[in-house]
Structure 1
Amino acid sequence: CASRHKSSIRKRIIRNVIHTYNVIHNSYLSEGIPIERVSSERDLGVNIDCALKVIQHPSSIVSSAKKMLGLISRITQQFKNPAYIISLFCSLVRSRIQFASVAWNSISGTQSAKIETVQKSFVRIIYDRYFQRRFYYDDYFLIDKISLRPSSERRAERDLILLHKVENAMRDNDMLLSRINIHVPFRLTRNHTAFYANTICRSSTLSRIQS
């Protein structure tokens, strides 16, 4: 029991939550053991920095996914059927780059393109190994040919699924439901916008989905 208590102390950390660069750091102890200070932390599978943003998360998942893709590529060199390597990619690699995407999908175009490089690298492996360069190489043509979709489309689909569940009370969460701004025009117009998007907080999940 004592050893378990000491183990829990070692797991304690200090996370800065700041919006300024002029920070005074103090050292803290827990039962004589210094508490580690971190600038980012992984919470429920998502990397969050000291400003409570997920800017570092895309780079982290791309690095992890490419390592796993390299491992799959090495151990499947003798596979004759591409369906097996595609199945491994979907279960072990693609799941990494779309896990909890609803929480962190407010990313830039550059970060989105970086995530797409994972699937493009996989498509290149399939092209070189199983198609033997019989036709002109095109990323999106091959992605469609092996029945995959761009990662950005899959993330957008997950966003819409969440919006559908919240709006239709399939998720019992009054706070989320209160954040949905249904657009009700006071007169008949040609504008058929379903939601009144709030552009003040672009990193907000529901604001992004409604826009």
Structure 2
Amino acid sequence: MAHIAQERYSTLVDEKLRNTLVTKDNLIFNTRYEGNPKAGKVKVPVRDTEVEVKQYDKQNGAAISTGSTTYFDINIDIDEAVNEMIDGYDAASVPDGITAERLDSAGYSLGLSMDTKSVRALEETAGITVAASKTACTDSTAYKQVLAAKRVQSRMGVPNDGKRWLLASPEFMEVLLTDDRFVKQGDLSQELVQSGVVGRIAGYNVFESNNTMFE
């Protein structure tokens, strides 16, 4: 009966998990990779330079430049699950209301665990300039720190196409919202609202997360 319960409820937990995640695929992370995750490892192509623009000669054309691609290996080696006996009940006799509550909790707990690991991976920024200041933000400096991050990304050529994001802790959101220069957009599209966006600032879509790299 436990196996039947697994087949019946696993898709419900998965749906809850997808709705709970802050670090969603194609929103915070992209899903471009080579290989099969079932094999235990995938390769992500890394191209840090843009195509070089050269002078064009109508008779001789343009000189050939070369480009190269390196690959970043990602090990698919973390498996997580929930397996709970509820109040000593057999699987077949658990009241539906309790089952629904625990399934909702399972989806939330798995999402929180995955978000924590994902944000910790984003925090590994060796060799990358994120913020020069290492002091805690206040209501008079939080907005300036976001603008500084915007400047760094713009100088690096990161497209400002409405897809930049900022993960903000509840503490950072608290000081940010006291700055009248940050105004929550009342006309955010329904698609963004459903994705968990709570506002926009300096071209960033802002997400509030318990686990965040922006304090």
Return the TM-score normalized by structure 1: 0.28
Q: Which has the higher strand share?
A: 2
For normalisation by structure 2, the TM-score amounts to 0.27
Higher helix share: 1
